[in-house]
Amino acid sequence: MAKMPAAVFYAPGDIRLEEIEAPTAGPGEVVVRVRAAGICGTDVRIMKGGKKVAAPIVIGHELAGEISSLGEGVSGFKVGDRVTVEPVIPCGKCALCLRGRRNICLTRPTIGYEYDGAFAKYVRVPASGVAAGNVIALPEGISFEEAAITEPLAAVVNGIDRCNIQLGDTVLILGAGPIGLAHLQLSRAAGATHVYVSEPNDERRQTTLEFGADGVINPLSEDVVAKAKEWSGGVGVDVVIVAAGVPAAMEAGLKALRKGGVFNIFAGSPPNSTFALEPNIVHYGELIVTGSSGHTAAHMKRAVDLITSGVIDAKRLITHRFQLAEIQEALGARQALTGLKHVVVMPD
Ligand SMILES: [Zn+2]
Ligand SMILES: [Zn+2]
């Protein structure tokens, strides 16, 4: 049996680079030679014990590569095709899948959580994933590195859809990590004329201005609500996007909104977090308070097209590259919030 290098997660704090058996493509399956794999905040949460996965398991769910083998009965692809993979595999038959809400499928086993993932030379896409359309062909003009971060950007596409941004809107984003900056780019693309960002980290505030924000605010030393009112002629902003899992920031964020505005909680928070919500603000203001989580293969395809066309500048979001053998350092850099997106690159 052929062996391959892989980063195997055993338990919180315990990830090991090992030689394991390389996957082969059974009926209906596709095996992808991984060329680039993004490090996600969720990978850090897994390492810290904040998210359970089916250990021991190869983690990594943001990937791009080339198809290396196809199982019996797979059509529409050939060996060598450049692809990315939607890692969440919808069951297709639960109440939510049947309502077209596959990203919040009630079971949704995921590559990198329940199936072996992308921090390895090869990754297998289960037959259920291939059948669900989770293998997505890449056009010319998008690199493996850019395609590897399609997954988080697809989540942002889903989030932006739920914000219902109108031409000429003013948007306030809480948090300026890579996800906040992707929201900045896509809010513009959706027609927002003014995009502001609240972020406590000095370096990230500076980066945000370089990415074209109309203004930034430090929530630790400035009043977000007052500033939002000032930026919006006194009425409040049209849309507030929560792109950092900090419940304390959400309370102010909700008050920064105009009547009839949309508040989208994109980021996950620590388990059992709460924030105080004054029902009358929502009631009298007819506020829409919503959330967004994950994505479908359709969001992935749209993210690929948005990157390829240059609407999303994915290159600029990638600040650090690592070899697979440096997986520990890569996870450490992500945890330390050094730079923006971290990608493991796997040349021949
Ligand atoms: Zn991710
Ligand atoms: Zn389902």
CA 302–ligand 1 middle distance (angstroms) = 16
Q: In angstroms, rounded to a whole number, what is the distance separating the alpha carbons of residues 119 and 34? A: 8
- In degrees, rounded to 5, the angle at the alpha carbon of residue 150 between the alpha carbons of residues 147 and 153 is 145
- pLDDT confidence tier of residue 337, bands split at 50, 70 and 90: confident
Give the model's pLDDT for residue 214. 98
Domains and CATH numbers, the chain: 3-137+313-345 (3.90.180.10), 155-291 (3.40.50.720)
Give the model's pLDDT for residue 338. 86
What DSSP state is assigned to residue 115? Answer: B
- The closest ligand to the CA of 132 turns out to be 2
CA 104–ligand 2 middle distance (angstroms) = 7
- pLDDT tens string 171-198: 999 999 999 999 999 999 999 999 999 9
Asked if pLDDT for residue 243 goes beyond 80, the answer is yes
- The closest ligand to the CA of 107 turns out to be 2
Which residues have C-beta under 5 Å from ligand 2, the single-atom ion? Answer: 90-91, 94, 97, 105
Asked if pLDDT for residue 1 goes beyond 90, the answer is no
Q: In angstroms, rounded to a whole number, what is the distance separating the alpha carbons of residues 72 and 93? A: 24
Which residues have C-beta under 5 Å from ligand 1, the single-atom ion? Answer: 40, 62, 152
Average pLDDT rounded to a whole number, residues 323-340: 93
Average pLDDT rounded to a whole number, residues 212-238: 97
CA 88–ligand 2 middle distance (angstroms) = 10
Beta strand pairing status for 57-58 and 3-11? antiparallel
Q: In angstroms, rounded to a whole number, what is the distance separating the alpha carbons of residues 337 and 257? A: 28
- In angstroms, the Cα distances linking 106 to 53, 90, 115, 120 are 16, 8, 17, 28
Asked if pLDDT for residue 39 goes beyond 80, the answer is yes
Average pLDDT rounded to a whole number, residues 107-125: 97
Residue with tokens 């980021």: 267
CA 99–ligand 2 middle distance (angstroms) = 9
Q: In angstroms, rounded to a whole number, what is the distance separating the alpha carbons of residues 90 and 112? A: 15
Average pLDDT rounded to a whole number, residues 118-137: 97
- In angstroms, the Cα distances linking 123 to 25, 30, 186, 243, 279 are 10, 8, 30, 30, 47
Give the model's pLDDT for residue 50. 87
Enumerate residues 6+ apart whose C-beta is below 8 A from 99: none
- pLDDT confidence tier of residue 69, bands split at 50, 70 and 90: very high
Q: In angstroms, rounded to a whole number, what is the distance separating the alpha carbons of residues 57 and 345? A: 20
- pLDDT confidence tier of residue 348, bands split at 50, 70 and 90: confident
CA 40–ligand 1 middle distance (angstroms) = 4
CA 89–ligand 1 middle distance (angstroms) = 14
- The closest ligand to the CA of 61 turns out to be 1
Asked if pLDDT for residue 17 goes beyond 80, the answer is yes
Structure tokens at 304: 């690929």
CA 345–ligand 2 middle distance (angstroms) = 32
Q: In angstroms, rounded to a whole number, what is the distance separating the alpha carbons of residues 248 and 220? A: 11
CA 348–ligand 1 middle distance (angstroms) = 24
Rounded to 5 degrees, what are φ and ψ at 8?
-100, 125
- The closest ligand to the CA of 90 turns out to be 2
Q: How many helices (H) and strands (E) does the chain have?
A: 13, 16
Give the model's pLDDT for residue 153. 97
